[in-house]
Amino acid sequence: MRSLYTLLLYLATPLVLLYLSLRGLRSADYFKRWPERFARFDPPPQTGGIVVHAVSMGEVNAASMMVQELARRFPNDPLYFTTLTPTGSTRIRELFGDTVFHVYAPFDLPTVVRRFLDRVRPRMLIIMETEIWPNLYHEAAARGIPILIANARISERSIGGYRRLQRLTGSALRKVTRICAQSPVDRERLLEVGATEPQITVTGNMKFDVRMPPSLNEEGEAIRAAWGSQRRVLVAGSTHEGDESALLAAFTRMLPKFPEALLVLVPRHPERFTRAAQLARQAGLAVALRSAGMSCPAGTQCFVVDAMGELLRFYAACDVAFVGGSLEAIGGHNVLEPAALAKPVVVGPHTENFAEITEQLLGCGAAVRVADDAQLEMALSRLLSQPEERDWMGRAGFELVRSGQGAVTRTLELVEAALTATTG
């Protein structure tokens, strides 16, 4: 199966490059640094460290505390951080600067993977969430390099695909030293697609271990003061077009009741910044852009954050947070960030990517689920009218996040055990 997979991957490589080119038409960063994807880069100053791989910005954020702790616990081991997307790359640079060696992850072709391992010579691979790369896993295991999957999860939406490819995924997973599952449900799904019982430990979800900078609440208060503390502010984070269309429809109907309200749109992808502003103007709203400055005149009805890496400060400034990717079949994005800031959370029906966490937030009363723009309007109108309910929901979410922490510590204990077993 791996030979067939490799053949198909070689045949598909031109299509992958075409895909990167098409993405590059919307985001020029996709045209850059192609040699890195074939493991052609200058070797790091020091080899023999720990590789951490995270697909994109969300996984980089989830891995950030673990990487900080790796640097503290293993000061003599250089850290290498790989990602697949420009947004992930930008976030790595924002968080770590030059303290980690960063390149794009190699395509999962045998010759490319070997070249990558030859240049970096890692003593461990840590893969965030469930990125299964058969050739990378095979080559690393053949060299005696331990592999750990951190924050492992398999969503209900993706389990069918893994089942169909079980011979391939199962053989790859059995090359892994340790799998740190987010939940008992993920543990059962991992067993179903080929992992073995001794490999898996349920360590919890590392995203609960989010640490908000101490200055973040102060930043949020400063933003609100500049905008006008009496304004009701709805922040919609990580939005896609389906989210924005529904939000704009609901928000425009709410304006007669809340004429001073402000909708803050934070699109998920930079190539959508212009389109989000266009949709808001088409809805008849007065629009201001973050790129023009932080000022938001009293007449502004929609503030579009056309910048990356700033969502948290706007969550800190809001009365209500809507988490995007949930009103269309994207699967939803990180609901823990606004909850950790003690903000009431609103989501749509599609939250498969954070299914268990969303259910926990709904169960403790920290979140509200809506099906469409009509229900969205009703929920937002109620929350914007009732500060006591907002405060209660925010406190409930904050306590849930605090009680779920500890996954990073449990994961690092397994990292240390795997490294000790290899060297000892």
SS3 48: coil
Query: Quick one: pLDDT at residue 168?
Result: 94
Query: Quick one: pLDDT at residue 424?
Result: 56
Does residue 94 sit in the same domain as residue 228? no
Does residue 192 sit in the same domain as residue 272? no
* Cα gap 256→279, rounded to integer Å: 20
Does residue 273 sit in the same domain as residue 392? yes
Does residue 198 sit in the same domain as residue 263? no
Query: Quick one: pLDDT at residue 365?
Result: 97
Does residue 356 sit in the same domain as residue 234? yes
* Cα gap 129→63, rounded to integer Å: 10
Per DSSP, what are the bridge partners of residue 51? 80, 125
Domain count, the chain: 2
Write out the catalytic residue numbers.
Answer: 59
pLDDT digits (tens, 9 = 90+) for 323-355: 999 999 999 999 999 999 999 999 999 998 888
Between the alpha carbon of residue 322 and those of residues 63, 97, 110, 233, 264, the distances in Å are 23, 31, 43, 11, 10
The single-letter DSSP state of residue 234 is: E
Does residue 106 sit in the same domain as residue 249? no
Looking at the domain assignment, is residue 211 inside a domain?
A: no
Does residue 141 sit in the same domain as residue 243? no
The answer to whether 177 and 150 have CB atoms below 8 angstroms apart is: no
Tokens of 289: 């852009």
Does residue 40 sit in the same domain as residue 74? yes
* Cα gap 88→97, rounded to integer Å: 13
Query: Quick one: pLDDT at residue 20?
Result: 87
Cβ neighbours for 255, distance < 8 A, ≥ 6 positions apart:
261, 301
Range 410-422 burial, b when 16+ CB lie within 10 A, else e: ebbebbeebbeee
Query: Quick one: pLDDT at residue 423?
Result: 67
Cβ neighbours for 391, distance < 8 A, ≥ 6 positions apart:
none
Q: Which domain holds residue 10?
A: 2-204+406-423
- Where residue 19 sits, what CATH number does that domain have? 3.40.50.11720
Does residue 131 sit in the same domain as residue 180? yes
Query: Quick one: pLDDT at residue 284?
Result: 97
Q: Which residue ranges of the chain lie beneath pLDDT 70?
A: 423-424
- Where residue 299 sits, what CATH number does that domain have? 3.40.50.2000
Does residue 281 sit in the same domain as residue 371? yes
Cβ neighbours for 83, distance < 8 A, ≥ 6 positions apart:
53, 54, 55, 56, 59, 60, 89, 92, 102, 104, 105
